Amino acid sequence: MPPMRTRSSLPGLARASACALLAAALAGAAPAQDRQGYTLGEGQRLMIVVHVLGEVKSPGPYSVEDNTTVMELVSRAGGPTEFASLGSVRLTRVEHRPIEVAATAADVADDSTHVIRVDLDAYLNGKNRAPLPILGPGDIVTVPRNGWFHWRRIAGIARDLSVVASAYFLYLRAVNNN
């Protein structure tokens, strides 16, 4: 019987690394250097660890399937809070490059950081139908605060000041009437 051929995509992995990972996983012993942030989850699915920060209901690290989008991660984190700015979500990706021989300390820091802006608001409102970015191992998704957060804070300060001013004017009135 001829070998079965299928096509698969593993974002963030070169073809050779993906083949080595699959072969090691099927053999039951994947070496740490070949995993590059991927682990096997339930049902032999590749899993990655990513982080979500900012204005989501449950920020923190999440173990998700390898083809998870930014939208799915925000949803898994409980969704956005009322102060989330979904129009300016940031996906920070650090690409680690293997270092064979480090000659100097500058050669050791061979990582590249990319920040990808994602407009989930436009995607949800049907204004942007481009595919959402697929998460990779170690990605960090940050959902920033919107402008209403700052106005609410200012309104709270104004309320507190008005209470203090009212108490002061009541005191002055009581002193002047005596």
Task: Supply the DSSP string of 61-106, one letter for each residue.
Answer: EEEEETT-BHHHHHHHTT-B-TTB-GGGEEEEEEEEPP-S---SHH
Query: Is 31 part of a structural domain of the chain?
Result: no
Query: Is 24 part of a structural domain of the chain?
Result: no
Q: How many other CB atoms are found less than 10 A from the CB of residue 64?
A: 20
Query: Is 177 part of a structural domain of the chain?
Result: yes
Co-location of 108 and 73 in the same domain: yes
Co-location of 78 and 164 in the same domain: no
Question: What are phi and psi for residue 163, nearest 5 degrees?
Answer: -65, -45
What whole-number distance in Å separates Cα of residue 149 and Cα of residue 54?
Answer: 13
Co-location of 173 and 110 in the same domain: no
Co-location of 118 and 132 in the same domain: yes
Count of the separate structural domains present in the chain: 2
pTM over 0.75: no
What whole-number distance in Å separates Cα of residue 170 and Cα of residue 176?
Answer: 10
Q: Which domain holds residue 76?
A: 47-145
pLDDT in tens, the chain (178 residues): 444 444 444 555 555 555 555 555 544 444 443 456 777 766 767 899 999 999 999 999 999 998 999 999 999 999 999 989 999 999 999 876 555 555 555 554 556 888 999 999 999 999 988 899 999 999 999 999 987 767 778 888 989 999 999 999 899 888 888 7
